Amino acid sequence: MSDFRPFRAVRPAEGMAQKVNCPPYDVVSFEEAREIGRSPESFMHVIRAEIDLPMETDHYADTIYLKARDNLDRMIRDGILVQEDEPMYYIYWQKMKDHVQIGVVGGASVNEYQKDLIKKHELTRQDKEEDRVKHIRTTGANTGMVFLTFRANEGLEKILQRYSKELPLSMRVIDENDVEHRLYAVKERDKVDELRAAFSSVECMYIADGHHRAASSSRVRELFKKENPAHTGNEEYNFFMAVAFPHSHLKIMDYNRVVQDLNGMTESHFIEKVSKAFDVEEAPNIPYRPLKRHEFGMCLTGKWYRLTAREGTFDESDPVSSLDVDILQKNLLHPILGIDNPRKDSRIDFVGGIRGLKALENRIANGWAVAFSMFPTSMEELLAVADQGRIMPPKSTWFEPKLRSGLVVHLLR
């Protein structure tokens, strides 16, 4: 039974959505954020407020979060952002090339997150959590959406399809990757009640992306709760802003790997070691994109190979051991290349599939030793891991299209 609530959304004023919206805070570099922030209306001034302070400012200094709050308040005061009068939902429609996904913007329950009714599949890093805790607490707002999913059901599917056709368009933007984003406001009481009732039949939800935002919102709730002697459990800080999509709508792309060196080996010695756990053959085409699970592309000094995991390198009955990212880590990256902890090892980097395989070849051309193209993790694999309360290896999933920042804000104050 999911408690997914409407809230009084803060959104761009009429005609301002294209100017305000921007990529999420964690997918752009500081330099990219500064460039986007050349526009004074950009929401980048809220989610990456360091762009408005001297270059030498520590990116985790308290002044950053205070500036973020000032910028949010300024955008509301100047009428760039406005708040709705009543609690509501938004239907969030996205189209990337021929892929369409439709979800609902609402408030997800911190209680359910803490009870694992909103299931996780990734670990969080303390420093990134601390950053979001400070940002949420200081701004008094959820400025970014947690990306949730749930097992698709016919009732909610019909509602999503109907509302995205019947409701008037509230916002439409085209992002820098030519992805179209549409939002439809669900304001009428009967429709709000229908959506809330439909979500109450959802047994549980899953975090697809945004583990740090969710974990930080949970911690902030505890801080606000402690500070509020009149706490009831219905305050806005008991819910965090999220978009919930049926799992059948979502698209996971490959999340590829590059490694700086061969751990002291020659190419021939490296291939010899790889051959003990994988069948190695020249790729039938280049660059090589794996066509099925347990198959990998490998670019070594510009030459492409196809690797196929041998029996005994994985356990198909285990939802983690059978993941391709786990197979590569346990049979190649760790024992052969010495990548023990991919979260912290500077010798490995990860390249989202949206950048294409050419990005891997460019890394090799710029001095990296070896790259691996991956077959995308499936939604079914993600749900199976989360259902067992297990954790996926780092950088297992790359979701596209990304959610935009600045289209909807959830005030906690």
Residue 279 sits in a domain of what CATH number?
Answer: 3.30.1760
The number of residues making up the chain comes to 413
Do 230 and 344 sit in the same domain of this protein? no
Assess if residue 171 is contained within a domain: yes
Secondary structure of the chain in the HEC alphabet? CCCCECECCEEECCCCHHHHCECCHHHCCHHHHHHHCCCCCCCHHHHCHHHHCCCCCCCCCHHHHHHHHHHHHHHHHCCCEEECCCCEEEEEEEEECCEEEEEEEEEEEHHHHHCCCEECCCCCCHHHHHHHHHHHHHHCEECCCEEEEECCCHHHHHHHHHHHHHCCEEEEEECCCCCEEEEEEECCHHHHHHHHHHHHCCCCEEEEECHHHHHHHHHHHHHHHHHCCCCCCCCHHHEEEEEEEEHHHCCEECEEEEECCCCCCCHHHHHHHHCCCEEEEECCCCCCCCCCCCEEEEEECCEEEEEEECCCCCCCCCCCCCCHHHHHHHHHHCCCCCCCCCCCCCCEEEEEHHHCCHHHHHHHHCCCCEEEECCCCCHHHHHHHHHCCCCCCCCCCEECCCCCECCCEEECC
pLDDT of residue 1: 77
Residue with tokens 């066509």: 291
Domain containing 42 equals: 10-251+401-411
Do 31 and 156 sit in the same domain of this protein? yes
pTM: 0.93
CA nearest neighbour of 9 among 175, 167, 228, 171: 171
Do 259 and 247 sit in the same domain of this protein? no
Do 186 and 273 sit in the same domain of this protein? no
Residue 95 Cα distances to 102, 128, 149, 284, angstroms: 9, 30, 17, 32
Q: How many domains does the chain have?
A: 2
Could you give the angle at which helices 62-77 and 126-139 cross, rounded to 10 degrees? 40
Do 167 and 201 sit in the same domain of this protein? yes
CA angle 176, 178, 183 (to 5 degrees): 95
Assess if residue 1 is contained within a domain: no
> Rounded to whole angstroms, how far apart are CA atoms 356 and 177?
13
Do 139 and 189 sit in the same domain of this protein? yes
Assess if residue 235 is contained within a domain: yes
Is the Cβ–Cβ distance between 105 and 408 less than 8 Å? yes
Residue with tokens 């997914």: 4
Assess if residue 350 is contained within a domain: yes
Q: pLDDT tens-digit profile of 168-200? A: 999 999 999 999 999 999 999 999 999 999 999
Token pair for 380: 């079914």
Do 49 and 152 sit in the same domain of this protein? yes
Assess if residue 361 is contained within a domain: yes
Please report, to the nearest 10 degrees, the dihedral formed by the alpha carbons of residues 130, 133, 137, 143 taken in order: 130
Assess if residue 2 is contained within a domain: no
What is the end-to-end Cα distance of the chain in Å, rounded? 27
pLDDT of residue 113: 98
pLDDT of residue 364: 97
Do 79 and 227 sit in the same domain of this protein? yes
Which residues on neighbouring strands pair with residue 185, listed in sequence order? 90
Do 141 and 160 sit in the same domain of this protein? yes
pLDDT of residue 301: 87
Q: pLDDT tens-digit profile of 132-158? A: 999 999 999 999 999 999 999 999 999
pLDDT tens-digit profile, the chain (413 residues): 799 999 999 999 999 999 999 999 998 999 999 999 999 999 999 999 999 999 999 989 999 999 999 999 999 999 999 999 999 999 999 999 999 999 999 999 999 999 999 999 999 989 999 999 999 999 999 999 999 999 999 999 999 999 999 999 999 999 999 999 999 999 999 999 999 999 999 999 999 999 999 999 999 999 999 999 999 999 999 999 999 999 999 999 999 999 999 999 999 999 999 999 999 999 999 999 999 999 999 999 889 999 999 999 999 999 999 999 999 999 999 999 999 999 889 999 999 999 999 999 999 999 999 999 999 999 999 999 999 999 999 899 999 999 999 999 999 98
> Rounded to whole angstroms, how far apart are CA atoms 326 and 333?
10
pLDDT of residue 82: 98
Assess if residue 332 is contained within a domain: yes
Do 217 and 262 sit in the same domain of this protein? no
Do 190 and 328 sit in the same domain of this protein? no
Do 242 and 293 sit in the same domain of this protein? no
Q: With b meaning 16 or more CB within 10 Å and e meaning fewer, what string describes 255-269?
A: bbbbbbebbeeeeee
